[in-house]
């Protein structure tokens, strides 16, 4: 006696074809633009990327930050230290909302018996922007990442790293 296929298995080839076709339709699923060449310092590695939904005015710029081993970066909200900030250069072709930072770790810094808000693992800063108009020449959004890094013994001087994103409106 032949077995009856389940409704799902019977329709899987059709469903697979539909999903592949859906992925090929521009603007249906946001595509990430390739990451930039990384910026490296003695304390961290920074890479930029962006989502690129077709014909969308709202975009997100991503800044992936990877602290080097045994390093931590001070998070927003940490008093008494220079917390990481992302600042964009203003431009007439876009407006920016506040950058979004992930929840930091709270560590005990034993030498000072002090709790600190830090990032010691890779993290992503998300910067929402809104394009003034669609179309036109590619847009380069420039900015800076400012941070203070420390290891388990030394806090280093603050650093500023230039960053940029190329956006096709």
Mean pLDDT on 32-47: 79
Q: How confident is the model at residue 153 (pLDDT cuts 50, 70, 90)?
A: confident
For 80: left if phi > 0, alpha if psi spans -120 to 50, otherwise beta; the answer is: left
Confidence (pLDDT) at 125? 98
Cα 64 to Cα 161: distance, rounded to the nearest angstrom: 13
pLDDT at 62 over 90: yes
- Among the ranges given (16-25, 95-104, 115-124), the one the predictor scored with the smallest mean pLDDT: 16-25
Over residues 39-55, the mean pLDDT reads 88
Of these ranges, 9-23, 33-47, 146-160, the one predicted with the greatest mean pLDDT is 146-160
Q: What Cα–Cα distance (Å) separates residue 150 from each residue in 46, 86, 109, 124, 137?
A: 17, 19, 11, 19, 41
- How far apart, in whole angstroms, are the C-alpha atoms of residue 51 and residue 53? 6
Q: How many CA atoms lie within 13 A of 147 on its CB side?
A: 25
Query: DSSP letter string over 92-150?
Result: TTEEEPPPB-PPPEEEEEGGGTEEEEEE-S-EEEEEEEEESSSSSS-EEEEEEEEE-EE
Q: What is the pTM of this model?
A: 0.76
What domains, with CATH codes, occur in the chain?
Answer: 30-167 (2.60.40.1480)
**With contact defined as beta carbons under 8 Å apart, do 17 and 24 qualify?**
no
Residue 83 has pLDDT above 50, yes or no: yes
């Amino acid at each position: 006696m032949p077995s009856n296929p389940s409704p799902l298995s019977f329709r899987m080839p059709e469903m697979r074809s539909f999903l592949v076709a859906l992925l090929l339709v521009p603007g249906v699923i946001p595509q990430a633009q390739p990451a930039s060449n990384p910026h490296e310092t003695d304390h961290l590695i920074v890479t930029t990327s962006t989502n690129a939904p077709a014909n969308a005015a709202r975009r997100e710029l991503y800044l992936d930050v990877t602290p080097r081993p045994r390093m931590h970066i001070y998070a927003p909200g940490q008093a008494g230290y220079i917390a990481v900030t992302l600042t964009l250069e203003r431009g007439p072709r876009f407006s920016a909302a506040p950058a979004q930072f992930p929840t930091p770790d709270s560590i005990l810094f034993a030498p000072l018996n002090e709790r600190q808000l830090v990032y010691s693992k890779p993290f992503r800063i998300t910067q929402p922007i809104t394009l003034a108009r669609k179309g036109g020449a590619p847009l380069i959004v420039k900015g800076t990442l400012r941070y203070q890094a420390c290891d388990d013994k030394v806090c280093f001087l603050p650093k500023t790293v230039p960053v940029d994103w190329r956006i096709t409106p």
